[in-house]
Amino acid sequence: MKKLNVGVIGTGSWGKNHARVFTEMSNTTLAGVFDLDQKRANEITKLYNTKLYSSIEEMLKDEEVHAITIASPTSTHAKIAKQAIENGKHVLIEKPMTSTVEEAEQIVDLEKSSNVVVSVGFIERFNPIVFRSKRLVERDELGELVLISARRLGPYWPDRLKDVDVIRDVSIHDIDAFRYIVNKEPKSVYARGGKLRHTYLDYAEILLDFGNGVTGFIESNYLTPHKLRKLMLTCEKGIVEADYMSQEYVIEDAEWLRTKKLEWKEPLSAEMHAFAEASLGNAPPVVTSLDGLKALKIAISSIKSVETHQIIDLNF
């Protein structure tokens, strides 16, 4: 079996999980890691017996590295991704794709003129509750969808978050999941939010109009003491309540209450497997750079709505 040799850039609280998963999968090899904190990166190299790169440039020039994942601060994503594409490396960029829409557009354009795959780390696409919800909506199992909502609450991680607000960091997961489940783009967004304890927005409520009577609502914050990750669907003939973390899936209709714990699967492993298969040419990418751009555009428009107190039209 041909394997994808992957380098990981950024070995903080999430990048270290990238490294772990690449050592566990049958279609990948962890080629090495880089982090500005060389002590932290060295711990990963010792743990997984892999190479420690002294710079990003060294990793990108290494012909044995086929692909990279970018788990560094958001402000660094665009520059690293463009360098990687120019060096012929497949790229998975952790969300948000970039800090600005303009940067994301540059990456999409650069990918079009290359032979590489660019994907974005929307891990919830690979959560069984999201796939189940998409299938339920497609099959009209509970009739017409009326409302899709999510609550993504929990404490701030100072060792992880450096340069981004709650909407681009947290709400964007549900923005992408909603696009995937509903299978259409929202027409407009209205959002409220604020800063209680942090430099950037640390709470937000986002209302998305998908047209034809379908509404999306996302509540996110860094404030509440306990982590909560919920997905709800309100349909013509029933409701769904699901938990992103436990993957418990509850369907309530006119007949009965069906509670089911879906077979638990690690979304990160499924995400990286899909990225590897796309990079190896075995399958199309599940999440594209265009998905990353569109989700970012909705997130940025949500921030604009918070700032202006106005509905923002989305022109897709």
Residues 170 and 305 in one domain: yes
What local confidence, expressed as pLDDT, does residue 157 receive? 67
Q: What is the pLDDT of residues 285-312, one digit of tens each?
A: 999 999 999 999 999 999 999 999 999 9
Q: Using the Cα atoms of residue 256, residue 262, residue 267 and residue 273 in order, give the sign of their dihedral.
A: negative
> Is the same domain home to 146 and 246?
yes
* CA–centroid distance for 233 within its chain: 20
The residue type at 65: V
CATH number reported for the structural domain that contains residue 186 in this entry: 3.30.360.10
Domain membership of residue 217 (yes or no) is yes
Q: Are residues 308 and 210 in the same domain?
A: yes
Q: Which range marks the domain in which residue 280 is found?
A: 4-121+269-287
Residue 262: predicted pLDDT: 79
CATH number assigned to the domain comprising residue 36: 3.40.50.720
* Residue 304 resides in a domain: yes
Residue 251's pLDDT is 94
Residue 255 in any domain: the answer is yes
Per-residue pLDDT tens over the stretch 56-115: 999 999 999 999 999 999 999 999 999 999 999 999 999 999 999 999 999 999 999 999
Q: Which ranges of the chain would DSSP assign to H, the alpha helix?
A: 15-24, 38-48, 56-61, 74-86, 101-112, 128-138, 166, 172-182, 267-279, 289-308
Residues 148 and 225 in one domain: yes
* Model confidence at 159: pLDDT above 70: no
Count structural domains, the chain: 2
Taking only Cα atoms into account, the Rg of the chain, rounded to an integer number of angstroms, comes to 20
Q: Is residue 100 part of a domain?
A: yes
| Per-residue confidence (pLDDT) for residue 51, from 0 to 100 | 97
Same domain, 109 and 39: yes
Residues 277 and 196 both lie in one domain: no
Q: What is the pTM of this model?
A: 0.95
Q: What per-residue confidence (pLDDT) applies to 36?
A: 95
Q: What angle do CA 239, 244, 247 make, to 5 degrees?
A: 80
What is the pLDDT, as a whole number, of residue 257? Answer: 72
Say whether both 32 and 129 belong to one domain.
no
* Cis peptide bond N-terminal to 96, omega within 30: yes
Q: Are 48 and 40 in contact (CB under 8 A)?
A: no
DSSP 3-state assignment of 61?
A: helix
Question: Is 104 found in the same domain as 16?
Answer: yes
The token pair that represents 37 in the structure block: 């904190």
Same domain, yes or no, for 180 and 239?
yes
Q: Are residues 57 and 131 in the same domain?
A: no
Buried b (16+ CB within 10 A) or exposed e, 251-290: beeeeeeeeeebeeeebbbbbbbbbbbbbbeeeebbbbbb
The pLDDT value given to residue 296: 98
Please indicate, yes or no, if residue 152 is contained in any of the structural domains: yes
Co-location of 26 and 102 in the same domain: yes
Say if 200 falls within a structural domain. Answer: yes
Structure tokens given for 163: 């340069």
For residues 117 and 202, membership in a common domain is answered with no
Ramachandran angles phi, psi of 278, nearest 5°: -70, -40
